[in-house]
């Protein structure tokens, strides 16, 4: 619990290892400034939840209570608590708003909301952020809540973490969750739960794994109660305190993202094609290689090119890290990929495949991304394709703020994926006539040393640190340029972009994967 109602949002700024001024006191608690990739060594022990006893739980395993309100009251909801939710329902989530409606009704104040991400469907929580029911959001923010935060209107300081950083913060006790509310497409009365079955099927519940393991109280909410045992038990009922049946846990039509369409933009198709050619000629694609491509239009298209290369050579990828959708599922079912290691499903085919295929494996930020584990999978992936809102001439990249300074995106798994063997950002050279490659990123989310290749429609820039890639492609016909050349080309067309005018006031802290503070987001003047 965190009594942060009248607390200074931040204090004691220092310059961190990438030259950014960051606070060392955030919402009253100490935080470590970024020290460089791999430099910060944690010394403590993991968070230790209270020991429970079966004698306090029903022998028949039935943990159902009448309503979410009952469950929150039984869980001891009170001022200053930390409430966590997951975002597997994305913009079809129906539960987060209800939690805070109940908190408001009960007169609770100063809650910390710790979602794995927030979406437009939660916009009306702004009311509770304004009236003090919620003190702040610590979690990725997409859209309206990010805008609200950018304008300096949130009482506490926002803290943004990657998916892996969110698990790390829970595991390390940096964020102690009082009550985790886990919305689940299927659950049994004991609290075993999964995302593959039920009317609101979303595939998996991996983002809530850490919450279930470490929160003091865990509430599972479902619209699909099944008889014990709910198999697969992606969430173990042995961690769960209460189970609540509701009429509708999520809106299926909004759970599935509408973005899983191959791009039709000629420029983006060109970028995708160049990216795939680069990977082929740099020798990154081979029999047994592994990759992660997101669910955006360009990334999907690159994934398809990768599939074509596998088929042409009769090769088999060892695994695809996903965000799954119909395209990787097709490759899996055609036998061109051994495994999909899936962190979230983006369409019905992804959900079906996870339900049906034993080699379509559900993962979590623990297995895939937690930097404070004994290794994770992110560093074993041969190539990842990521986006960025800005990249600078030192290959530093921004993924949370736009060129106008507004924070409209979360970090997601982006920082974690940077640890792959080759990170490629396929990006347009400019957006709305504003160059994407600039002198210095507004918000530094990923240090340049982690970003290997920038692919644009007008050329490829390889990070000078990657002498091996430069060597392998120097005799190719690929349009390889320096990043300064790409920047100059953009400026020749669009002019030199102006830096956004921002206030000094800090509205959000950006965490690195190890829990250190890599940058801040400053207020947009309104």
Contact set for its own copies, span 186-205 (CB under 8 A): 190-191
Residue list 315-354, contact with its own copies (CB under 8 A): 318-319, 339, 341
Among the listed ranges 144-152, 247-255, 325-333, 365-373, the one in contact with its own copies (CB under 8 A) is 365-373
Residue 320 or 408: which CB sits closer to its own copies? Answer: 320
Neighbours of 475 (CB within 10 A): 8
Q: Where are the beta strands (DSSP E) in 444-485?
A: 453-456, 459-462, 480-481
Q: Site map for its own copies, 405-434, x if CB under 8 A?
A: --------------x-x-------------
Q: Is the peptide bond before 515 cis (omega within 30 degrees of 0)?
A: no
CB of 326 to its own copies, least distance (A): 22
Closest CB to its own copies among residues 350, 365: 365
Q: Judged by CB under 8 A, which of 9, 20, 31, 47 binds its own copies?
A: 47
Distance separating alpha carbons of residues 298 and 486, to the nearest angstrom = 19
In the block, which residue shows the tokens 């993962």?
363
C-alpha radius of gyration, the chain, whole number: 23
457 phi and psi angles, rounded to 5 deg: -70, -15
Number of residues that bind its own copies (CB under 8 A): 65
Closer residue to its own copies (CB): 211 or 392: 211
Separation between Cα atoms, residue 297 and residue 266, nearest integer Å: 12
Q: In terms of DSSP H, where are the helices of 209-347?
A: 209-214, 252-255, 266-281, 297-313, 326-334
Residues in the chain: 526
Binding residues among 479-518 for its own copies as defined by CB under 8 A: 514
| Residue bearing tokens 């998916």 | 163
287 near its own copies, judged by CB under 8 A: no
Which of 8, 228, 434, 500 touches its own copies by CB under 8 A?
Answer: 228
List the one residue from 21, 131, 311, 359 that touches its own copies (CB under 8 A). Answer: 359
Minimum Å gap between C-beta 240 and its own copies is 6
With H, G, I as helix, E, B as strand and everything else as coil, classify residue 169: helix
Q: Rule CB under 8 A: is residue 286 a binding residue for its own copies?
A: no
Which token pair is 449?
């040393």
Separation of alpha carbons 366 and 393, rounded Å: 33
- We find the least distance from the C-beta atom of residue 428 to its own copies, in angstroms, to be 31
Nearer residue to its own copies within complex by CB, 38 or 199: 38
Give the side-chain half-sphere CA count within 13 A for 146. Answer: 23
For its own copies, the binding residues in 52-71 under the rule CB under 8 A are 52-61, 63
What is d(CA 393, CA 439) in angstroms, rounded to the nearest whole number?
6
> Which residue among 46, 248, 499, 501 contacts its own copies (CB under 8 A)?
46
User: CB 323 → its own copies: shortest distance, Å?
Assistant: 17
Residue with tokens 């930390």: 82
Judged by CB under 8 A, which of 1, 13, 24, 49 binds its own copies?
Answer: 49
Nearer to its own copies, 327 or 419 (CB): 419
Judged by beta carbon, residue 238 or residue 313, the one nearer its own copies is 238
Which residue's CB is nearer to its own copies, number 176 or number 443? 176
Q: Which is nearer to its own copies, 57 or 315 (CB)?
A: 57
Both structure tokens of 217? 């109280």
Q: Looking at 44-52, 118-126, 480-488, 492-500, which segment touches its own copies (CB under 8 A)?
A: 44-52
Which long-range contacts link 484-489 to residues 24+ away (Cβ below 8 Å)? 484/393, 485/459, 485/461, 486/429, 486/437, 486/454, 486/456, 486/458, 486/459, 486/461, 487/393, 487/435, 487/437, 487/438, 487/439, 489/429, 489/458, 489/459
Write out the binding residues for its own copies, residues 111-150 only, by CB under 8 A. none
Stretch that binds its own copies, among 69-77, 109-117, 368-376, 497-505 (CB under 8 A): 368-376
With a CB cutoff of 8 Å and minimum separation 6, the contacts of 249 are 89, 94, 95, 183, 184, 185, 198, 200, 221, 222, 223, 224
As measured in angstroms, the least distance from the Cβ of 330 to its own copies is 20
What residues line the site for its own copies (CB under 8 A)? Answer: 38-61, 63, 171-172, 190-191, 218, 227-229, 231-233, 236-241, 288, 318-319, 339, 341, 358-359, 361, 366-367, 370-377, 379-380, 419, 421, 514
């Amino acid at each position: 619990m965190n009594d942060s109602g009248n607390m200074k949002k931040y204090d004691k700024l220092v310059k961190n290892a990438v030259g950014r001024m960051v606070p060392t006191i955030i919402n009253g608690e100490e935080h470590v400034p970024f020290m460089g990739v791999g430099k910060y060594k944690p010394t403590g022990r993991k968070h230790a939840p209270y020991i429970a006893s079966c004698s306090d739980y029903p022998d028949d395993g039935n943990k159902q209570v009448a309503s979410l309100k009952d469950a929150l009251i039984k869980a001891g909801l009170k001022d200053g608590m930390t409430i966590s939710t997951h975002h597997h329902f994305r913009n079809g989530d129906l539960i987060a708003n209800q939690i805070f409606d109940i908190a408001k009704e009960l007169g609770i104040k100063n809650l910390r909301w710790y979602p794995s991400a927030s979406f437009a469907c939660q916009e009306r929580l702004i009311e509770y952020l304004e009236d003090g029911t919620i003190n702040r959001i610590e979690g990725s923010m997409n859209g309206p809540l990010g805008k609200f935060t950018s304008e300096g209107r949130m009482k506490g300081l926002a803290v943004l973490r990657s998916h892996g950083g969110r698990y790390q913060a829970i595991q390390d006790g940096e964020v102690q969750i009082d009550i985790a509310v886990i919305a689940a497409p299927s659950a049994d009365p004991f609290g075993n739960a999964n995302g593959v079955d039920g009317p609101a099927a979303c595939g998996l519940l991996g983002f809530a794994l850490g919450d279930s393991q470490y929160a003091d109280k865990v509430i599972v909410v479902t619209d699909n109660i099944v008889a014990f045992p709910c198999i697969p038990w992606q969430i173990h009922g042995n961690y769960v305190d209460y189970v609540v049946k509701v009429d509708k846990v999520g809106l299926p039509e909004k759970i599935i993202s509408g973005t899983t369409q191959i791009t039709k933009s000629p420029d983006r198709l060109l970028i995708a094609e160049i990216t795939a050619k680069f990977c082929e000629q740099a020798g990154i694609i081979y029999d047994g290689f592994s990759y992660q491509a997101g669910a955006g239009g360009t990334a999907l298209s690159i994934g398809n090119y990768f599939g074509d290369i596998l088929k042409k050579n009769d090769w088999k990828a060892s695994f695809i890290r996903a965000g799954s959708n119909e395209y990787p599922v097709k490759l899996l079912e055609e036998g061109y990929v051994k495994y999909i290691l899936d962190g979230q499903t983006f369409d019905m085919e992804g959900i079906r495949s996870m339900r049906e295929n034993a080699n379509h494996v559900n993962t979590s930020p623990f297995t895939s991304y937690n930097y404070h584990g004994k290794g994770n999978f992110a560093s074993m992936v041969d190539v990842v394709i990521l986006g960025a809102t800005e990249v600078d001439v030192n290959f530093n990249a921004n993924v949370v703020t736009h060129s106008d300074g507004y924070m409209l995106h979360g970090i997601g798994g982006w920082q974690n994926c940077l640890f792959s063997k080759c990170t490629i950002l396929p990006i347009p050279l400019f957006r709305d006539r504003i160059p994407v490659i600039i002198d210095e990123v507004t918000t530094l989310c990923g240090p340049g040393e982690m970003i290997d290749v920038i692919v644009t429609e007008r050329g490829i820039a390889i990070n000078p640190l990657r002498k091996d890639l430069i060597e392998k492609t120097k005799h190719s016909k690929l349009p390889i340029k320096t990043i300064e050349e790409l920047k100059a080309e953009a400026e020749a067309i669009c002019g030199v972009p102006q830096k956004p005018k921002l206030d000094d006031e800090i509205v959000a802290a950006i965490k690195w994967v190890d829990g250190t503070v890599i940058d801040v987001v400053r207020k947009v003047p309104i």
